[in-house]
Structure 1
């Protein structure tokens, strides 16, 4: 069976998720009229500026309650895109909960706070954005409210992004911010459209959430691609193993996790894409049934058919489940040791396979995993003491299986599984010295 995780305080934390809080947040966001990236930035009651200040104020409120555990920042950059023809200031709102013992390792939950209507360039008309992406923003704010009451070895960043609808600009700014701060980003959980359970087809599903993950790294070099095509790794990027990790937590939320082996929905995109382009393991979390009448549409009724992204289209019990899944994943990731680095697999022309890796701070033990090359999830494991960084698996031949390693803490929290070599590495390996 796949790894079952028991994150620090996850059960208690997920129980604290409040549908009332989620509803109040979305009501406030919708109340700003429009959150279009190019809308008013000065008004206290309307536009993207008011929405961003509201998010920052909520983070500051939580920080006050936890004795200053959150540092609220608003990185910005003048940016252009085909949908931003004149340079405009793009602003992200971040709440940073610094880790206790491994603060440079960072896990991120993100959502875009901007909205749009039918005309993506209309920066003045009402664009409620209740589900796209008021729901994701509400999940981020609720995660900060709940998890700021706990402490974790790694740093958690709660990110409200602007400019997604204008070309994934907030995600690009977040990637630049992470690089500037030299964060070792282990995982990004991007929540985009997570609050609706009724689809355009009439199908209703409030029991399933989708997690999208890239198959091969966006940053893969031609040399790495050649090795991966020959030896495997097409379905073992860090994002893919992050998706498997989240699926292992589905019992914490009351949701079934449907893993989708794509970077995003067909031909579409989200803020996880620029994070992947920067080399950071990222997934997109999205509702199972999308209602396209409620996405990117002016609010109106035509022939009895309602259009527009309004609050009545949000299923708050469902959104609470998605939020619980995020909180369980954040707690598990930030509470566990880092994924191992330097994972190497050897065993050509022998009946045995050897795996080795670098020691991980805080790891009490390691877990070596293997599975048939056609299996979707890890099937078999063996534990290794924490003072050991290699193992030989007698009679397990390298040709027939895929292999991976995870790090385990003293209280049983496990990192995501790491596939050997560059194809599966969560963190970029430092360049070899020259000269």
Structure 2
């Protein structure tokens, strides 16, 4: 009966209500978790992290009061405290590696702090939130000077910890992973260690939300804007093969990678569950010429996005603490906006809860319709799915705009809708109405990497 009621609701929705992909019906839980975020707790976390003086990857590791070692141990204690309040629902892992590189001339152990909240239904399906704990000043090799790293990226770490505090009170079908990474400023080492760990665990990572520089609402221009956050996503997959690229260039998919459709999903969550806070989808993997830990997750074939504040202030990142010609430089806590950081945390938390309660995205999505008036989509059934929606949009539209309920079938014919004029995709919907991201057909849009397509006829 619930499935029949869900189908009726979907059929009755006006076109404007179908413009975003997340939950097909309003979900009280998502409003609940959004309301549990505390800007005061975020302030306390950033204050604690800034108090370690520097968190440079090559800084002190034995001190209990200064350096990255002390900061990592503090983070581990916070995760363990959170876990004790939910009946030890979090498993704590410390994946690490000895690394060297252009910015690490002598071997250094890079250690991540990871808390794992196992899913109750499909624990191998994983949703990851991440932020990096290391900091730096103007000289990336200077590991002794004070480097508060308040916004870059204690803000991201605070969002990760807040997500753990809020979501650990609830249970989800999929596994949630809260990851605090090291070594980002020295070469994205924490992201690579996390990706390697995920592969070693056999995780099917459906999404990585990487939060890096998310705590300030006033940009370089001096204009304060508390209403927008940027979500960066790759257009074509980092792991795309030559054969896949050839097929994609001909038939489309440049703006429909799994990461891009994850970004659309995040955008829809903001529209539905946050007040006066909007996502700007940026069609780039990261800021121009720059990078973050999500890049290493993409290299491993996992869908990932970077979340960053709407407008950066470059006087307050990667800078020595100083004042020159009346301009104050340095990444200090007084330059942050914790109400804004609270909004970013709410966006992450609602997205994670929606994803973790939804079914896994459909796999094996294929499309046919050449030299026909109709378009046919087929897919493999997703565990936990009560039904599916087939989506389409103009080839120049940024968001999915039209959908049709397919019930529990694994194929649908869109009569009179030509394949040439639109882009298409499929999402899975749970009995409770939680909806997965949309999957674009073929390797270009698959959330789990697949082999090369068959040659065109």
Report the TM-score, using the length of structure 1 for normalisation.
0.98
Q: Residues 8 and 332 of structure 1 are in contact (CA less than 8 Å); yes or no, is this contact kept in structure 2?
A: no
RMSD across aligned positions (CA): 1.2
Match of 1:187 in 2: 207
Post-superposition Cα deviations, 1:348-382, rounded to whole Å, max 9, x if no partner, equal 11111110000111101100001111111111000
Match of 2:332 in 1: 310
Per-residue deviation, 1:4: 4.6
1:328 paired to 2:350: yes
1:408 paired to 2:426: no
Segments of 5+ residues of structure 2 without an aligned counterpart are: 1-18
Post-superposition Cα deviations, 1:248-287, rounded to whole Å, max 9, x if no partner, equal 0113233110000000011110001011011000000000
Q: Residues 241 and 452 of structure 2 are in contact (CA less than 8 Å); yes or no, is this contact kept in structure 1?
A: no
Per-residue deviation, 1:14: 1.1
Per-residue deviation, 1:428: 2.3
SS, match of residue 9 in structure 1: helix
Match of 1:396 in 2: 417
SS, match of residue 318 in structure 1: helix
In 2, the alpha carbon distance for the partners of 1:402 and 1:131 equals 38
1:148 paired to 2:182: no
1:221 paired to 2:241: yes
Q: 1:182 to 1:120 in 2, by over 3 A?
A: same
Post-superposition Cα deviations, 1:321-363, rounded to whole Å, max 9, x if no partner, equal 0000000000011110001000000111111111000011110
SS, match of residue 422 in structure 1: coil
Q: Residues 8 and 331 of structure 1 are in contact (CA less than 8 Å); yes or no, is this contact kept in structure 2?
A: no
Match of 2:216 in 1: 196
> Structure 1 runs of 4+ off > 4 angstroms?
none
Match of 2:112 in 1: 92
1:355 paired to 2:377: yes
SS, match of residue 289 in structure 1: coil
Match of 2:10 in 1: none
In 2, the alpha carbon distance for the partners of 1:329 and 1:307 equals 34
In 2, the alpha carbon distance for the partners of 1:22 and 1:111 equals 14
Q: What is the aligned counterpart of 2:283 among 257, 261, 264?
A: 261
Segments of 5+ residues of structure 1 without an aligned counterpart are: none
1:38 paired to 2:58: yes
Report the TM-score, using the length of structure 2 for normalisation.
0.93
Structure with the larger helix share: 2
Match of 1:422 in 2: 443
Post-superposition Cα deviations, 1:82-128, rounded to whole Å, max 9, x if no partner, equal 10111110100000000001000000000000000111111111000
1:337 paired to 2:359: yes
